[in-house]
Structure 1
Amino acid sequence: MAMSQGRMCCIAATALCAQAGHPSPAHTLVLGASHRRSDDRVGHDAPQFAFLPEQLGQSWTSLYAQDEMALSDALRLTLGARIERHDYTGNEFLPNVRLAWKPSPAQLWWASAARTVRAPSRLDRDVYVPATPPFLLNGGPGFRAEVAKVLELGYRGQPLPALTLSATAFHGDYDRLRTTELAPSRTAVFFGDGMQGRVGGLEAWGSLQTATWLRLHGGVALLRPRLALKPGSADNASSVPAAEGAMPRRMWRLRAAVNLPRDAEFDVTLRHVSALHAPDVPAYSAVDLRLGARLGPDADIALTAINLLGSHGEFTPVQTRSKFGRSLALQVRLRLD
């Protein structure tokens, strides 16, 4: 994609956040507002692609409030809301609620519910292919904000003196996800919001001090997307596998941190990412090593080796895919007062 005379200029940006303090001993209130405006001018000397209109000014404004309430010494409830206004779709109401329970100083349980959106951008509304009629891609004039309603349940604590754990289970209901719809003329397509679905998963991380000289770290992330086209969508069914296929179902990481004599340290990390399916990207595992030492009170040195098992791709089709290969780096840091 080649463009000339393209520039994005933010001509005004202001933000205000005020902590209203404690209207009562059990409440902590925060209020805020922000406003941003941009002026976008893009030329389209390239005949294959254009943003129309070429010149566009846009504004984003938001107001938000949050109240954190102490229901008891161990239980806190936080209620918040944000109202955002943008030029494409008008006002969006974004509420959130969070409940935190701390049964002991070393443990915290929490649950939250929130509604959030991804507002349309020029890439959703104003992109045309080619740059002049007749268009094959006719923008997305009716594309609305993508919506997510998310529930989370989490735990963070230190059940044993040598063990620290953190885990979060989440579930999201998604609506108005972007699709490529067929125009009534059947000679062009446009961006619509004809996909919906659910995404659930789990993230868990832990750290174990097995000895004074050895600490083990581990984590896993599991993801399960279930997306589908909405009734009435004229998408050719490519949007669903493209969206689901771009999400790795499993990722995990193990790291051992070893303290060596003379203020030296040695880390070895094993990590794994499962395969992607649209485009097809194979699963890969990687090993990284780091050896570091202090040279003095204000200097240290580290030697890092990455991807010792060989190169791998992480995204994009195989024809245009960049591979991440083995690399070696030497770093020296000096702290100057």
Structure 2
Amino acid sequence: MRAGARLDGGTAGAATWMVEGEAYHEAVQSRTRALVGPGDPAREFDEEDDVRGAYALARWNRWFSPTAELSVQGYYDRTDRSSEVLGEVRDTWDLDLQHRFTLGGWQEIVWGLGARLTRDRVDGSYAAEVPNDRRTDRLWSAFLQDEIDLVPDRLRLTLGSKFEHNDYTGIEVQPNARALWVVTPRHRLWAAVSRAVRTPSRAEADIRFRMSLLEPSPEMPVPVEIHLVGNEDFESETLMAYELGYRGAFGRTLTVDATAFCHVYRELRTIEPVGGPSPGGEGVWVQEMTAENRMRGTVYGTEVETGWHPAPWWRLRLSYTWMVLRLTPEDGSQDPLSEAAEGEAPRNQVSVLSSWDLPAGWELDLWVRHAAGLPSLGVDAYTTADLRIGWTPLPGLDVSLVGQNLLDASHPEFTPEILSTVPAEVERSVYARVTWTH
């Protein structure tokens, strides 16, 4: 169940404000496989996690001129999830400031500052032990962007960077550069180079997961538990993204967007053994594993999206993505599984969205999509469809009936990576939604 509201006020072009909030409460069912005690094999049991939370967001905008604007936004979010294996209560406070203005008539400058505070309380279990059940993380950020008209209305260069300081890896710098060439009013080419990082998570830093139990064997005559332990020295994973794109309009009814990309990853996560098995008590030995940055990778591919309006009341959108993932562990890595992640991303994805504006305020949306299989995870290719019927009986009042994943009762799309949750399937669902805007 979800409920929310939004209020807007002020005067456009001078100062405006917005406040919105939402609360939710739901039960999430899953089947979990986890160790429950020393020397006991993993057991499967059904869980019904109680998930509840709420958020509130407020934003204030002030226009000094058509080309100068100041925006301040505050955000609070609370999430409470109870689970037999790993429960969490998390509070997040976020504050952002952004200022945009022009300089010299041919530059547009945007800069901003941000601060985020996160506090959590984690309730562990035998399968997921939390040495420090409470943690506070702080993230400080700033960014600067300069959009330069090199040739008015023809050639534009955008330079910028984001600067962050987090409690795991310290200072991170993420620069980017983008160029846009307006070949004709209906055809554009662009290119971009950017750097991004994925900072470590709390789980990678200080949580111990008891993953599995190896039964005695001739090589190891005692049971051995495999433990995934946190590594405070784990560094950020890095990405250098190179992209080329085209956007064109053909007549008044057809648009085409095409992108070719090559993403180069460094310092990717592998799971490495920490020494050899050692006594862990109660007749069980322990083999610790931990996250290290010992793999690199490359992703390349293309994305194409077309939009077509066969009639004023009918819109079609077709998108296709082809992607290849290549991973290479560094010399000395003892992780036999991370390279198999090449088969955890679909090589081909295609979707078609058709929208009709019908008489008397009725709307109909049909979205059909297909994704290739994930061989490393044992997930087959699937095709599914969503359907939405909408009605606007009064201005500002929207009533919708939505059906999701309608082509089969259920299908798998992924399998868990860390916790041994038995793979769940995405089920067919139907829900109603009422939105009132005043």
Which category of TM-score, normalised to the shorter sequence, fits these structures? 0.7 to 0.9
Report the secondary structure of 2:137's partner residue: strand
Q: In the alignment, what sits opposite 1:154?
A: 245
Residue 223 of structure 1 pairs with residue 323 of structure 2: yes
Secondary structure in structure 2 of the residue aligned to 1:157: strand
Distance 1:140 1:203 in 2: 37
Equivalent residue number for residue 252 of structure 1: 350
Paired residues of 2:384 and 2:405 also in contact (CA < 8 A): yes
Q: Within 1, Cα distance between the matches of 2:111 and 2:396?
A: 42
Equivalent position of 2:393 in the other structure: 295
Mapped contact 1:51–1:122 kept (Cα < 8 A): no
Question: How far apart are residue 96 of structure 1 and its match?
Answer: 0.4
1:62 corresponds to which residue? 141
Give the match's secondary structure for 2:272. Answer: strand
1:96-134 Cα offsets, whole Å, 9 max, x none, are: 001011233333321110010001121111111459xx9
The alignment status of 1:52 with 2:131, answered yes or no, reads yes
The one-letter amino acid paired with 2:84 is A
SS at structure 1 position matched to 2:324: strand
Deviation at 1:253, TM superposition (A): 1.2
Instruction: Please show how residues 173-188 of structure 1 align to structure 2 within 5 Å.
Output: 173-186=264-277, 187-188=287-288
Question: What corresponds to 2:426 in structure 1?
Answer: 324
Give the Cα–Cα distance (whole angstroms) in 1 for the partners of residues 86 and 254 of structure 2: 56
- The one of 296, 306, 325 aligned to 1:206: 306
1:280 Cα shift?
0.8
Give the partner amino acid of 1:169: A
- Residue 26, structure 1, aligned to residue 106, structure 2: yes
Aligned to 2:98, which of 8, 11, 17? 17
Using the alignment, how far apart are the partners of 1:304 and 1:57 within structure 2?
A: 39
Is the aligned partner of 1:77 residue 2:175? no
In the alignment, what sits opposite 2:84? 2
Q: Which amino acid aligns with 1:230?
A: E
Q: Which residue number corresponds to residue 228 of structure 2?
A: 137
TM-superposed deviation, 1:156: 2.2
Residues 103, 277 of structure 1: alpha-carbon distance in 2 compared, 3 angstrom cutoff: same
Matched position secondary structure for 1:244: helix
Task: Name the TM-score, length of structure 1 as normaliser.
Answer: 0.85
Moved more, 49-58 or 146-155: 49-58
Partner residue of 2:339 out of 223, 232, 240: 240
Structure 1 portions without partners, runs of 5+: none
Report the equivalent of 1:94: 174
Q: 1:313 — aligned with what? A: 412
- Secondary structure at the counterpart of residue 141 of structure 1: coil
Q: Please give the per-residue CA displacement for 1:209-240, whole angstroms capped at 9, x wherever unaligned.
A: 224454332111111101121112121x2112
- For residue 273 of structure 1, what is the amino acid of its counterpart? A
Moved more, 313-322 or 77-86: 313-322
Distance change (3 Å), C-alpha of 1:105 and 1:234: same
Distance 1:83 1:322, change over 3 A: same
After superposition, the CA RMSD in angstroms is 2.9
Q: Is the 8 A contact 1:290 1:304 kept in 2?
A: yes
Greater shift after overlay, 204-213 or 312-321? 312-321
Give 1:298 shift. 5.0
Q: Percent of pairs identical after alignment?
A: 32
Cα distance change on mapping 1:42 and 1:328 into 2, 3 Å:
closer
Q: Return the offset for 1:153.
A: 1.2
**Partner secondary structure for residue 103 of structure 2:** coil
Query: 2:413 is matched by which residue type in structure 1?
Result: E
Q: 1:56, 1:292 → 2: CA distance?
A: 44
Match of residue 375 from structure 2: 277
**Offset at residue 39 of structure 1 (A):** 4.0
137-146 or 249-258, which deviates more: 249-258
Of 29-38 and 173-182, more deviation after overlay is shown by 29-38
> In 2, Cα distance between the equivalents of 1:273 and 1:194?
30
Between the aligned partners of 2:264 and 2:131, the Cα distance in structure 1 is 32
TM superposition shift of 1:324: 3.4
Question: Which of 290, 293, 313 is matched with 1:190 structurally?
Answer: 290
Shift of 1:262: 4.3
**Aligned residue identity for 1:147:** T
d(CA) in 2 for partners of 1:123 and 1:2?
Answer: 17
> Structure 1 residues 56, 298: CA separation in 2 closer, same or farther (over 3 Å shift)?
closer
Q: What letter matches 1:174 in structure 2?
A: Y
Distance of 2:391 and 2:136 partners within structure 1: 53
- Paired with 1:7 and 1:195, the residues of 2 have a C-alpha distance of 33
How far the C-alpha of 1:95 sits from its partner, in A, is: 0.8
Looking at structure 1, the residues matched to 351 and 267 of structure 2 have their Cα atoms a distance apart, in angstroms, of: 34
Shift in alpha-carbon separation, 1:335–1:100, aligned structure 2, 3 A: same
Structure 2 SS opposite 1:233: coil
Q: Is the 8 A contact 2:168 2:232 kept in 1?
A: no
